[in-house]
Structure 1
Amino acid sequence: QKLYVSGAGLRELPEEIDELRELRILALDFNKLERLPDGLCRLPRLTRLYLGGNRLLALPADFVQLQSLRCLWIEGNFLRRFPRPLLRLAALQSLQLGDNRLRALPAELPRMTGLRGLWLYGNRFEEFPPALLRMGRLHILDLDRNRLGG
């Protein structure tokens, strides 16, 4: 099952979204979401989640329950810190974090051994994040438009 609610001006989602148990793809990009309901974290089959172009400052701790998630796009939000629940999502392969406000990455990042694509363009890194040197399985790493070497 798929649900596309892109560019609809949504400010919030109903907590009951967790009743969509069979949902595999959820597109909520280009809305006005400032937070995600805990119900979103109770979608056991979700493999792709598109949250780009919202107003998110963080992800809920319960996000760690999304163990089927393979692709998360959360570009163009207001994240200042790397969302720690992501560190425990073993299935995650593609993580799009471009155009946020990140300055550093957690030392535990290399634990994300399934990750193949990591987009970090347009953030606020001033030096190359050391954790990335231990991410030898990455096929794609995008650090364009940061403040590296400046």
Structure 2
Amino acid sequence: MDKMELEVDIPPDRLVAWLQHDFATSAQPRFEVSANRVFVEEPVSGGRAGLDVNDDEAALSGFGVLEIRPLPVGVGRWSLRLQIEDALADHLPDEGGVPDEPEEMTLEGFEAAFIAPGRGLSYATLEIADEQARSGFDSFLSDLQSGRH
């Protein structure tokens, strides 16, 4: 079986709260988690959004990206990627310009910046390599949905 990527329906607030609880109550980490903020500039053509036709402006969008993988690394490993769009980029960096590289965040920082009602569109994708990985993810999803840890 080649690697497959599937869309999954997971409420971002539930996922983050479940992970926070799991980290607080587990003696050993069970998941590798990375959280990042990425900014993307997209040109806005003149004559739109009240701009003069000769103006060259860019719209700034921010994305929160949360990636979760089970530990330990090995066969049957899955990867869950949650992306949340912040089209208004409300949470610009405090100092300096917009970074070219992804900005690392804590899980708490990710929650503060991206987990709020009406924050933006969210997309969750699952990457699996085999049926063992799918079974492992299904077990994780069942725990998440039931609140089990």
Shorter-chain TM-score above 0.5: no
TM-score for both structures, normalised by structure 1: 0.20
Q: Which has the larger radius of gyration?
A: 2
TM-score for both structures, normalised by structure 2: 0.20
Q: Say which structure, 1 or 2, has more relative contact order (CA 8 Å, 6+ apart).
A: 2
The structure richer in helix per residue is: 2
The structure richer in strand per residue is: 2
